[in-house]
């Protein structure tokens, strides 16, 4: 499957100031597949090393971490001389060998011309955990599940995906194209963006098997909770993780510790939330009551919403049945729009929004997302249906007078003075449209 991050890997390869690259991302989002394709396509010499599968490799990183000694020993072990010219070295599952992670520092300092990528399950947990981590000596990238445009390309809709990616103005799509995209979006919300799930459905067209794979992925995450955390922490991680879908299914999606267990307190679960976030399994949106720049200074980090990394996994946890795909709008509205708001959160994160925020007034008004673009702050209301009710966002606009107010919904592109509607399938264009209007 073609991944958007591939182009960023090309840029990394061609960057004169390139450092060893740490590719982060949750388990089974396709990190190994992507680097394998990149290495084989873009280099004459590609060397794949898996520290989890081959424990013999651990001996080569014991003691002396001098890069030339490591490479010399690797050459002897593999029976193939490793040279820096047009060579990519891929350290997979590097989290199982902290000394290999530390060695990246010395590769950068003493052998920068050798191209190295490192990846691994739960690598985000390791980053910054150990004092020997190569701070400042590595580049970072994060791979997420396939976003909607990547899904379109995988399903043979490359022309429509290109049309979306190249859009620069708020122009109506032909209705036949608009409804085709909404149909694809419903499938995407159910299947999600995990590569194995999508590949299975592409090959076999069996929605039941796709759900089976989703459940297997969820079981793998549960095993990770026990494998990488202490027993008490593992229990709390599982409790919190399992509570997220039901919390999203409420009308008020603010996360409540008391919904995990009676009398639960933040102190019990703060470490759990950080673990799940660093593992790439959840995204957080923080509450702000005053939308001023920078948003980070006005956020209340004790109030937040939690979203899952993938709508398909969310549906599996909620036991959503596949017949909902063929119904007109039920999936958009199901569970108080949980899938739509989760989808929007993921798409916004993938379009260079590193932090997510939402706004609440002292009364009942709430705007689902508040985003900062350069020196401007803009509200984005998420609508799972075609209702024109804009009470909350109008309340926000009356109070703060933003230059533009945005809604994303199943409706087509539309602009009426300062009000702009983005179709749900195009919400990732939010930042691009703002920057275009600022020119």
- Planar angle of CA 222, 225, 231, nearest 5 degrees: 120
State the pLDDT at residue 438.
58
State the pLDDT at residue 126.
61
State the pLDDT at residue 33.
96
State the pLDDT at residue 134.
81
Rounded to 10°, the helix 231-248/266-278 angle is 80
State the pLDDT at residue 5.
96
Q: Where in the chain is the domain with CATH 3.40.50.300?
A: 5-142
139 by DSSP, 3-state: which? strand
Q: What is the DSSP letter of 39?
A: H
Measured on CA atoms in the order 407, 412, 416, 420, is the torsion positive or negative? positive
**Mean pLDDT in residue range 389-404:** 87
pLDDT at 183 over 70: yes
pLDDT at 339 over 90: no
Whole-angstrom Cα distance, residue 208 to residue 172?
36
Q: Give the architecture (CATH level 2) of 5-142.
A: 3-Layer(aba) Sandwich (3.40)
For 93-116, what is each residue's pLDDT tens digit?
998 899 999 999 999 999 999 999
Tokens of 340: 């739509």
- Residue 68 class from Cβ within 10 Å (0-12 exposed, 13-18 middle, 19+ buried)? exposed
Quote the mean pLDDT of the chain.
91
**Mean pLDDT in residue range 408-414:** 94
For 215-270, what is each residue's pLDDT tens digit?
999 999 999 998 877 888 899 999 999 999 999 988 889 999 999 998 888 989 99
For 21-61, what is each residue's pLDDT tens digit?
999 999 999 999 999 999 999 999 999 999 999 999 999 99
For 133-174, what is each residue's pLDDT tens digit?
787 899 999 999 999 999 999 999 999 999 999 988 889 999
**Residue 121 Cα to chain centre, angstroms:** 14
Whole-angstrom Cα distance, residue 280 to residue 193?
14
Per DSSP, the residues of 224-283 read: HHHHHS-HHHHHHHHHHHHHHHHHHTSSS----GGGTSTT--HHHHHHHHHHHHHTTSEE
pLDDT-derived band at 328 (thresholds 50, 70, 90) equals low
| 399 or 127: which leads in pLDDT | 399
List, in order, residues 6 or more apart from 368 with CB less than 8 Å away: 341, 344, 358, 380, 381, 382
């Amino acid at each position: 499957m073609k991944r958007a991050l591939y182009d960023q890997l090309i840029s990394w390869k061609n960057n004169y100031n390139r450092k060893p690259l740490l590719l982060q991302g949750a388990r089974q989002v396709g990190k190994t597949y992507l680097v394998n394709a990149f290495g084989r396509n873009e280099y004459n010499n590609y060397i794949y090393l898996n520290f989890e599968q081959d424990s013999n490799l651990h001996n080569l990183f014991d003691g002396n971490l001098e890069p030339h000694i490591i490479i010399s020993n690797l050459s002897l072990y593999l029976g193939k001389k490793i040279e820096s010219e047009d060579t990519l070295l891929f350290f997979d599952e590097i989290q199982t060998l902290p000394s290999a992670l530390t060695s990246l520092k010395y590769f950068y300092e003493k052998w920068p011309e050798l191209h190295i990528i490192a990846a691994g399950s739960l690598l985000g947990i390791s980053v910054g955990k150990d004092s020997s981590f190569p701070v400042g000596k590595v580049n970072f990238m994060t791979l997420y599940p396939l976003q909607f445009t990547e899904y379109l390309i995988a399903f043979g809709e490359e022309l429509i995906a290109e049309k979306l990616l190249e859009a620069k103005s708020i122009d109506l799509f032909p209705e036949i194209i608009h409804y085709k995209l909404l149909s694809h979006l419903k499938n995407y919300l159910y299947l999600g963006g995990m590569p194995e799930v999508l590949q299975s459905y592409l090959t076999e067209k069996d929605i039941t098997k796709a759900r089976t794979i989703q459940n297997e992925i969820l079981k793998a995450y549960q095993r990770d909770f026990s494998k990488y955390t202490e027993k008490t922490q593992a229990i709390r991680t599982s409790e919190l993780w399992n509570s997220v879908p039901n919390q999203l299914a409420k009308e008020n999606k603010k996360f409540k510790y008391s919904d995990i267990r009676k009398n639960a307190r933040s102190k019990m679960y703060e470490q759990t939330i950080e673990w799940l976030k660093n593992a790439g399994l959840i995204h957080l949106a923080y509450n702000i009551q005053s939308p001023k720049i920078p948003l980070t200074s006005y956020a209340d980090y004790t109030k937040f919403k939690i979203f899952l990394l993938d709508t398909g996994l969310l549906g599996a946890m909620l036991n959503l049945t596949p017949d909902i795909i063929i119904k007109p709008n039920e999936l958009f509205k199901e569970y108080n729009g949980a899938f739509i708001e989760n989808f929007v959160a993921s798409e916004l994160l993938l379009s260079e929004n590193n932090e997510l925020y939402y706004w609440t007034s002292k009364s009942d008004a709430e705007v689902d997302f508040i985003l900062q673009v350069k020196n401007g702050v803009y509200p984005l209301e998420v609508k799972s249906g075609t209702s024109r009710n804009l009470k909350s966002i109008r309340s926000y606009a009356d109070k703060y007078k933003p230059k533009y107010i945005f809604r994303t919904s199943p409706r087509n592109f539309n602009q009426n003075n300062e009000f702009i509607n983005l179709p749900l399938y195009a919400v990732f264009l939010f930042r691009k449209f703002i920057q275009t209007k600022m020119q």
